[in-house]
Chain A
């Protein structure tokens, strides 16, 4: 198998198709790139950008959230391990204290994110419908 390896290259991909990438290491959200035509209308362009941007916004939120979780969890485990000494291990019951406190601390931020996500996701359905109608007619005209 011939291969081209490079650490930070930019590769061009066929824009006639929608592409889905691998899940981000931190946020676990996959990056998307939507297809476009040359004579893309303003409506289509805005829809495409809005959807890609929503996905990116999701990814950013979860990257930050997950980093916070991992950091706080390892801090908690370290602290507990020090308290317990070397003979015992941190039990699941103690971890569950951490889980509960973490959820409660993040409650406000999560609620705000959730509301925003619902709003933006549902808001995009109507433009999606319009774009699909436009694309259908474009295909029918050919």
Chain B
């Protein structure tokens, strides 16, 4: 009887609450459309029993009896393997999260190209390579500190330090060498400001963001700052200073992180909760959805208003970034209204396309080096019209 009553109420849109709390969020949750949980989130009806495996003794080569001393007491002998790397280069790339580091390095390259100075080869290369190396160092430190947590999550359980491809000391040395090389490269071929920013970023990622993931919801903001600094590094490498245009660029990247990360983490809430990460999507869902929307709208304002205003780009960028950002706002709004697996995945994958597109458009409409576009738009129209009239006149003569 009661269940039918509850059923009718939930169809109407609210669940009768029996809690004593004055403010509670159960009403808000039942206003959202009911999303189906992922298959892996639902506990299995009956846990599968492990079958006793056959085991094969590993006898290779001639060995003295005293070499054999470690005793393994389990059935899964063939699943034990030696702690060694089959392919050191591939494992290093995995340790430094090479695809992510390349992405970060590309944002630094964008920073160099947006600087209002002629592009110098050494600052370009130093910024790109230096940022890649520093990002690798930061990621290696992160994996070093998070190995047991990574083991708990499906997404990260094959990371090199989880499967013990090499020892923690090895990873620590790798981080030290790449980080110091990156800083040195930036200091020597670019300038000390870029190197200092790089070192700061390394520290924030490994020393602030990584521990904060476990303790406070503000970790996403710290992570967004980490994402915003590489373009500043590129800009500083090219020019040696940071002006409002650079800060506008950094803020664009800062705001982008939110729809990106929230879209990614929504589907992994179960894993994140089990592994103890206090990210927004687990601890405060409403904030998660709202920040994605808020920052997507902020991106619209940043690209279309702040960018031309701070002389980062010309007006062309303000106009041609509108559809790109508008679609992001649309997807964020859909995610806000109906948060489920499909909408979050769409948001995440589009954010991966959105940033390179925006950086490309920005590069094309660069203000600092673009003499022609510095003319006011009405002058450009009248000049274009005059040129057209002249060419028609010369043709008809």
Chain A proximity mask over B153-178: 1 for CB below 8 Å, otherwise 0: 00001000011100111001000000
- Residue contact B29 to A128, C-beta cutoff 8 Å: no
Q: Considering only CB atoms, which chain B residue lies closest to A59 in the complex? A: B148
Chain A proximity mask over B273-285: 1 for CB below 8 Å, otherwise 0: 1101010001111
Residues on A with beta carbons closer than 8 Å to the beta carbon of B32: 93
CA distance A118 to B211 in the complex (A): 9
Given contacts A87-B7, A103-B283, 14 further A-B contacts (CB under 8 A): A8-B73, A10-B72, A11-B77, A19-B82, A21-B76, A33-B70, A69-B273, A69-B274, A90-B42, A93-B35, A96-B282, A111-B214, A114-B211, A114-B215
Residues on A with beta carbons closer than 8 Å to the beta carbon of B169: 125, 128-129, 132
CA distance A134 to B327 in the complex (A): 60
- Residue contact B83 to A19, C-beta cutoff 8 Å: yes
Given contacts A28-B157, A92-B37, A103-B278, contact A121 B145 (CB under 8 A): yes
Residues on B with beta carbons closer than 8 Å to the beta carbon of A14: 58, 63, 67-68, 70
Q: Which B94-111 residues have C-beta < 8 A from chain A? A: none
Residues on B with beta carbons closer than 8 Å to the beta carbon of A34: 83
The answer, yes or no, to whether B34 is at the interface (CB within 8 Å) is yes
Q: Which A77-107 residues have C-beta < 8 A from chain B? A: 77, 83-85, 87-97, 99-100, 102-104, 106-107
The answer, yes or no, to whether A124 is at the interface (CB within 8 Å) is yes
- What 7 pairs between A and B have smallest CB-CB spacing? A18-B83, A99-B273, A85-B3, A3-B54, A22-B79, A128-B169, A91-B34
Q: Which B157-209 residues have C-beta < 8 A from chain A? A: 157, 162-164, 167-169, 172
Q: Which of B35, B70, B80 contacts A92 (CB 8 A)?
A: B35
- Residue contact B36 to A89, C-beta cutoff 8 Å: yes
Q: Which B261-309 residues have C-beta < 8 A from chain A? A: 269-270, 272-274, 276, 278, 282-285
**Most chain A beta carbons < 10 A, residue from B29, B80, B168:** B80
Chain B contact residues, majority secondary structure: mixed
Given contacts A5-B52, A92-B340, contact A102 B34 (CB under 8 A): no
The answer, yes or no, to whether B352 is at the interface (CB within 8 Å) is no
CA distance A73 to B74 in the complex (A): 29
Which positions in B face A, CB cutoff 8 Å?
3-4, 6-7, 10, 25-26, 29-30, 32, 34-38, 41-43, 50, 52-58, 63, 66-77, 79-84, 144-145, 148, 151-152, 157, 162-164, 167-169, 172, 211, 214-215, 269-270, 272-274, 276, 278, 282-285, 340-341
Nearest CB on A from B274, distance (A): 5
Chain B proximity mask over A60-71: 1 for CB below 8 Å, otherwise 0: 001001100110
CA distance A132 to B173 in the complex (A): 12
- Residue contact A77 to B42, C-beta cutoff 8 Å: yes
Given contacts A84-B3, A92-B41, A121-B144, contact A30 B164 (CB under 8 A): yes
- Residue contact A23 to B52, C-beta cutoff 8 Å: no
CA distance A10 to B73 in the complex (A): 4
- Residue contact A66 to B274, C-beta cutoff 8 Å: yes
Residues on B with beta carbons closer than 8 Å to the beta carbon of A124: 168
CA distance A13 to B72 in the complex (A): 7
Nearest CB on B from A19, distance (A): 5
Q: Considering only CB atoms, which chain A residue lies closest to B162 in the complex? A: A30
CA distance A23 to B30 in the complex (A): 39
Nearest CB on B from A102, distance (A): 6
Residues on B with beta carbons closer than 8 Å to the beta carbon of A58: 148
CA distance A70 to B168 in the complex (A): 30
Residues on B with beta carbons closer than 8 Å to the beta carbon of A38: 66
Residues on B with beta carbons closer than 8 Å to the beta carbon of A92: 34-38, 41, 340-341
Nearest CB on B from A79, distance (A): 12
- Residue contact B71 to A12, C-beta cutoff 8 Å: yes
- Residue contact A85 to B4, C-beta cutoff 8 Å: yes
Nearest CB on B from A21, distance (A): 5
Residues on B with beta carbons closer than 8 Å to the beta carbon of A100: 273, 282-285
Residues on B with beta carbons closer than 8 Å to the beta carbon of A23: 151, 157
Q: Considering only CB atoms, which chain A residue lies closest to B288 in the complex? A: A96
- Residue contact A30 to B151, C-beta cutoff 8 Å: yes
